Amino acid sequence: MAITTCVFDAYGTLFDVAAAARLAAGEPGRGDLATVWPKLAEDWRAKQLQYTWLRAVMGQHCDFWQVTRDGLDWALEASGLSDPDLRERLLALYWELPAYPEVPAMLAALKAQGLATAILSNGTPEMLAAAVRSAGIGDSLDAVLSVETIGVYKPDARVYGLVGAHFGTTPDQVLFVSSNGWDAAAAAGYGFRVAWANRSGQPIDRLPGQPHHILTDLTTIPALAGA
């Protein structure tokens, strides 16, 4: 079946999650962060995701802004940083994450092809609205879907079901794009056509579902969707 709808994970796929730590590290007076920001950004992201999975398994859901703050607190302690001002600055920057450079033109090309576009994310509606606005990509999106409408995180199949419920599509009409290998695998298992944006060159995850395309960025998504 032809692709009618392109759906994107948000954080790490459209938006650069390392940008908050990188930008803060370049500000005056941030010498302590400047030496450790890559590790802090990696720890922050890892704990953020781990807490979504663990809360889902434990049946103790909280929203993504809470796990984002909890993950940052762990990462700051692991890096030996205890500056409350730095914590608040990093959290503020997370609401203004930039899109990756190829994203605006890629989304515009999909719309020019007549395809529906959407975000499907663990993020809260408020976080996603802020990121979309900051990146200036709202005009190229038909929907921004958040797990908060059902209260469970990816990779629960109910999350992927939000796409069909909104657009009236069958899974094989959807091209799903994520930078997370586990997300790509789960979406493929659900029945989506899947492109894994493997920006960091990681090995493929040993999970039941496998992505149909492995990319280094999102530049070729319009060609894949139209093929």
With 90 as the cut, is the pLDDT of residue 45 above it? yes
Q: Which residues are catalytic?
A: 9
Token pair for residue 175?
């091209």
Q: 53-67: per-residue pLDDT in tens?
A: 999 999 999 999 999
pLDDT of residue 1: 81
Query: What average pLDDT does the structure give for the chain?
Result: 97
CATH T-level assignment (fold) for domain 19-94: DNA polymerase; domain 1 (1.10.150)
For residue 146, what pLDDT is reported? 98
> End-to-end alpha-carbon separation of the chain, Å?
11
Asked whether residue 202 carries a pLDDT value surpassing 90, the answer given is yes
- Mean pLDDT for 18-43 is 97
**pLDDT tens figures, 154-198:** 999 999 999 999 999 999 999 999 999 999 999 999 999 999 999
Degrees, nearest 5: CA angle 97-101-104: 90
* pLDDT for 149: 96
Q: Is pLDDT above 90 for 98?
A: yes
In sequence order, the 6+-apart residues with CB closer than 8 A to the CB of 48 are 67, 68, 70, 71, 72
Distance set, CA 157 to CA 84, 122, 164, 192 (Å) = 38, 13, 12, 11
What are the extents of the domains in the chain? 5-15+98-226, 19-94
CA distances for 191 relative to 100, 144, 211, angstroms? 27, 20, 11
Check whether domain 5-15+98-226 has CATH 3.40.50.1000, yes or no: yes
In this prediction, residue 201 carries a pLDDT of 96
Paired tokens of 138: 């709202």
- Name the pLDDT band for 227 (thresholds 50, 70, 90): confident
